[in-house]
């Protein structure tokens, strides 16, 4: 088996005339955690469905576990755990039944599933809801169940499409921790998200996608280094004055981004820049110095914020 578990070249998906994924190239290596980062409509879910060996690609090369999904869909899917963006649980069945039938779809024995289900219930903290109908669960509980369900077959590759949407901060951090541990066990993770902190926390490597294409690729740290500066100074002058101020501030640093509610100034030393701003006689309502993040990388690459 070659080193890359997922290999894509010129991967393309069209819906009629519309190109949702436009010739993307990437490799995911065994045991790594790989992210697709991009705004709404970037084509992340569409790419995930092709990699999940369910949606047929329009063109390009794609192999998963060294197999072509067009020919070996079931054999590939046997080793994938899929958490789709939208929960598609069987709402007529109970929590336990959902885990059970999903395990059966992988051909797992009743005996194996009996133990596995207990483990997953505790993993998802749904022991008390074990016999509740899925219909009656809260959004976050459904999400946790969907994630637990994907683990029933102990997949080689775990694919999570916006996994933490709908989770409260605590459940989110616990999931991150859990994903780390799965990674330690050798599970390869493929994650899409539009949360910067999630991408930075979880991904060894990621691609930034926009409008179906890959804009950049690398580790979070490398991307920040390549496409942004070390620190960001955020200034707010009030929505009317921001635009007006931006022109005057431009002379103080190399790069400046103007957002509707604030101005971002990129620099190696934020505090020092802030001092210069005051010295020049500018008086922002609020100011904040922070480290550059993937959000800034994205802004640089696309001229837009991730979550508008």
Partner 1 sequence: MSSLQTRQGSLKIVDAARVAARGALFVTEARLRAMVKWLWLIISIAIANPVLYLISIGLGLGSYIDQNTGAMGVDGVSYLTFLAPALLATAAIQGAMDESVYPTLEGFKWNKTFFSMNATPLSGNQIAMGVFYNSLIRTIFTAVLYWLVMLTFGVLDSPRAWFAIFTAIMAGAAFGALMQALAGFLENENVFFTIVERFIIMPLFLFSGTFYPLTNMPIFLQWIGWISPLWHATELGRWLTYGSEISTPMLFLHFIFLNSILIIGLIASRRIFTKRLGK
Ligand X SMILES: Nc1ncnc2c1ncn2[C@@H]1O[C@H](COP(=O)(O)OP(=O)(O)OP(=O)(O)O)[C@@H](O)[C@H]1O
Q: Is residue 58 a contact residue for partner 1 (CB under 8 A)?
A: no
Contact 224, 293 (CB under 8 A): yes
Q: Between β-strands 80-83 and 157-161, what pairing exists: parallel, antiparallel or unpaired?
A: parallel
Q: Is residue 304 a contact residue for partner 1 (CB under 8 A)?
A: no
CA distance 82 to 51: 10
Binding test (CB under 8 A) with partner 1, winner from 36, 151, 215, 246? 151
Binding test (CB under 8 A) with partner 1, winner from 9, 61, 66, 90? 90
State the burial class of residue 303 (Cβ atoms within 10 Å of its Cβ: 0-12, 13-18, 19+).
Answer: exposed
**Binds 46: which of Mg ion, ligand X, partner 1, none (CB < 5-8 Å by kind):** ligand X
Contact 47, 70 (CB under 8 A): no
Backbone dihedral angles phi then psi of residue 247, each to the nearest 5 degrees: -60, -40
CB closer to partner 1, 81 vs 220: 81
Q: Is residue 41 a contact residue for ligand X (CB under 6 A)?
A: yes
Q: Distance from CA of residue 293 to its chain's centroid?
A: 15
| Edge-to-edge strand list for the sheet holding 188-193 | 80-83, 157-161, 188-193, 33-37, 205-210, 213-218
Q: Is residue 78 a contact residue for partner 1 (CB under 8 A)?
A: yes
Q: Is residue 303 a contact residue for partner 1 (CB under 8 A)?
A: no
Q: What Cα–Cα distance (Å) separates residue 241 from each residue in 25, 233, 247, 277, 287?
A: 43, 17, 11, 15, 15
Gyration radius of the chain over CA positions: 22
Q: Is residue 169 a contact residue for partner 1 (CB under 8 A)?
A: no
Strand partners, 241: none
**Binds 124: which of partner 1, ligand X, Mg ion, none (CB < 5-8 Å by kind):** partner 1
Q: Is residue 136 a contact residue for partner 1 (CB under 8 A)?
A: no
Shortest approach of ligand X to residue 167 CB, angstroms? 16
Q: Is residue 168 a contact residue for partner 1 (CB under 8 A)?
A: no
CB closer to Mg ion, 12 vs 45: 45
Binding test (CB under 6 A) with ligand X, winner from 22, 54, 58, 85? 85
- Cα distance between the two ends of the chain: 42
Residues that bind Mg ion (CB under 5 A): 44-45, 85
Q: Is residue 88 a contact residue for partner 1 (CB under 8 A)?
A: yes
Q: Distance from CA of residue 159 to its chain's centroid?
A: 10
Between residue 142 and residue 201, which ones bind ligand X under the rule CB under 6 A?
Answer: 194
Q: Is residue 44 a contact residue for ligand X (CB under 6 A)?
A: yes
Q: Largest Cα–Cα distance of the chain, in whole Å?
A: 74
Contact 74, 190 (CB under 8 A): no
CB closer to partner 1, 91 vs 286: 91
Q: Is residue 88 a contact residue for ligand X (CB under 6 A)?
A: no
**Binds 84: which of partner 1, Mg ion, ligand X, none (CB < 5-8 Å by kind):** partner 1
CA distance 37 to 289: 24
Contact 58, 239 (CB under 8 A): no
Interface segment toward partner 1; rule CB under 8 A; list 36-44, 87-95, 259-267, 281-289: 87-95
- Binding interface with ligand X (CB under 6 A): 15, 18, 20, 38, 40-46, 85, 194
- Binding interface with partner 1 (CB under 8 A): 15, 52, 54-56, 73-75, 77-82, 84, 86, 88-93, 97, 101-102, 104-108, 112, 119-120, 122-125, 144, 151, 153-156, 171, 174-175, 177-178, 181-182, 185-187
């Amino acid at each position: 088996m070659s080193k890359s578990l997922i290999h894509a070249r010129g991967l393309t998906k069209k819906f009629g005339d519309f190109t949702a994924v436009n010739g993307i190239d990437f490799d995911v290596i065994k045991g790594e955690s790989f992210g697709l980062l991009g705004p709404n409509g970037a084509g992340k879910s569409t790419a995930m469905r092709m990699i999940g060996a369910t949606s047929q690609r329009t063109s390009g090369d794609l192999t998963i576990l060294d197999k072509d999904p067009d020919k070996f869909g079931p054999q590939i899917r046997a080793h994938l755990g899929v958490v789709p963006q939208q929960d598609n649980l069987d709402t007529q069945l109970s929590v336990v039944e959902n885990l059970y039938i999903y395990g059966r779809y992988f051909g797992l024995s009743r005996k194996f599933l009996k133990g596995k289900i207990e483990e997953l219930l505790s993993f998802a903290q749904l022991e008390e809801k074990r016999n509740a109908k899925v219909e009656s669960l809260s959004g976050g509980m459904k999400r946790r169940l969907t994630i637990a369900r994907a683990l029933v077959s102990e997949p080689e590759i775990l694919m999570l499409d916006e996994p933490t949407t709908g989770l409260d901060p605590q459940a989110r951090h616990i999931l991150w921790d859990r994903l780390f541990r799965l990674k330690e066990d050798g599970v390869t993770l493929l994650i899409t998200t539009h949360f910067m902190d999630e991408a930075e926390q979880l991904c060894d490597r990621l691609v930034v996608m926009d409008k179906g294409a890959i804009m950049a690729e690398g580790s979070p740290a490398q991307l920040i280094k390549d496409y942004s500066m070390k620190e960001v100074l955020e200034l707010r002058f009030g929505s009317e004055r921001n635009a007006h101020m931006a022109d005057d501030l431009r002379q103080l640093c190399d790069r400046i981004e103007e957002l509707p509610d604030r101005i971002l100034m990129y620099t190696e030393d934020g505090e020092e820049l802030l001092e210069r701003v005051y010295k020049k006689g500018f008086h922002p309502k609020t100011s904040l110095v922070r480290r550059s993040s993937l959000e800034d990388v994205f802004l640089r690459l696309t001229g837009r914020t991730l979550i508008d």
